[in-house]
Structure 1
Amino acid sequence: MMKLYRFLGKRGRITIPYEIRQQIGFRYNDVLSFTKLDDNSVVVCKEKICDNCNEYLDEFEGDFEENITLEDFLDSLSEEEQRDALVHLSLLWAEKQKH
């Protein structure tokens, strides 16, 4: 098990260590969720916001992981798809608030 330490900044920000990001596969603009467990530990998970995200890759030039922001991606969706994404994420958030 790897254990690394980082300081929590004044504004509540922290950098996830490079080694952890590489091993888990976290990328720029990933949506992450944080779940507090009963023992006060926290589980961080990468969330999937849509089932057909690859359909939209052709709309963007260059390296997807480096150049596109989450806002760019959401702006590329139709109004109905944006609503569906908002509902989906809201339901995930509400579920996690119960625990």
Structure 2
Amino acid sequence: MNRKIVKVLGKRGRITIPYEIRVRNKIGYNDILSFEEKDKNTIIVRKEKLCGGCTPECFDEENSIPIEDFIDSLTPEQQRRATIYLNLLWAQKESASVGRT
């Protein structure tokens, strides 16, 4: 299990988690990973859950971050996809309300 796998960091700062490690740790598409810098040469990667036992209190105003901060935390590609999704959603609601008048 402690087999060492060496990977090269790409020019965009990306690296692929090896398939064997993803399978063994049940890491899949859209899973959330955190990175903790232990020291100069050690980075700990953890699979995370956004919310393990969510309760209504989890969604209180005081527990949430401003939407702008959340959007700023997204990658440019995620921001682009969110923009497209929200524009389509808004257009659908607008066309539905125009049909009712």
TM norm structure 1: 0.51
> How many aligned residue pairs are there?
62
Distance, in Å, in 1 between the alignment partners of 2:60 and 2:8 is 35
CA drift of 1:28 comes to: 0.7
- Residue 27 (structure 1) aligns with: 28
Which consecutive aligned stretches of 4+ in structure 1 deviate over 2 angstroms post-superposition? 80-87
- Residue 6 (structure 2) aligns with: 5
In structure 2, stretches of 5+ residues that fail to align are 71-101
Q: Kindly tell me: are residues 85 and 2 of structure 1, through their superposed partners in 2, closer, same or farther at Cα, counting changes over 3 Å?
A: farther
More moved, 35-44 vs 25-34: 35-44
In structure 1, stretches of 5+ residues that fail to align are 54-79, 91-99
Considering only aligned residues, what root-mean-square deviation do their CA atoms show, in Å? Answer: 2.9
Check if 1:41 corresponds to 2:42: yes
Identity of aligned residues (%): 47
- Is the contact made by 1:36 and 1:42 (CA closer than 8 Å) also made in structure 2? yes
Higher relative contact order (CA 8 A, sep 6+): 1
